[in-house]
Amino acid sequence: RLCAAAAPNLSYQELKDLKKANVLHIDVRERWEIDRFGKIPESINIPLGELMEALQMDPTEFKEQYNQKMPSKSDPVVFSCLAGTRSKQALGFAMSLGFS
């Protein structure tokens, strides 16, 4: 399941189109889930339990930890998980930190 503020639910095709426009895709599944079910191409894995801390990191630290430029509060970000519950929580976390 995929969540973004503008459209709480996205289809696979909508995500593919968004990825062409440089959206940051954060997969909030646990690392064991990524190992077991596979990584989504061009996504970064930040398990939900780490997300609040990650989104408040120093940008240099974020880059070192996740090998990706830290999103600004106005950058387009999409969250995904297995069923949609965690990605909705992730969206709520991000919005509570001021992400639009």
Q: Residue 91 is inside which H or E element, if any?
A: helix 85-96
Strands of 77-80's sheet in order across: 2-3, 77-80, 24-27, 43-45
Catalytic residue among 10, 81, 90, 94: 81
Query: Has 3 been annotated as catalytic?
Result: no
What residues act catalytically? 81
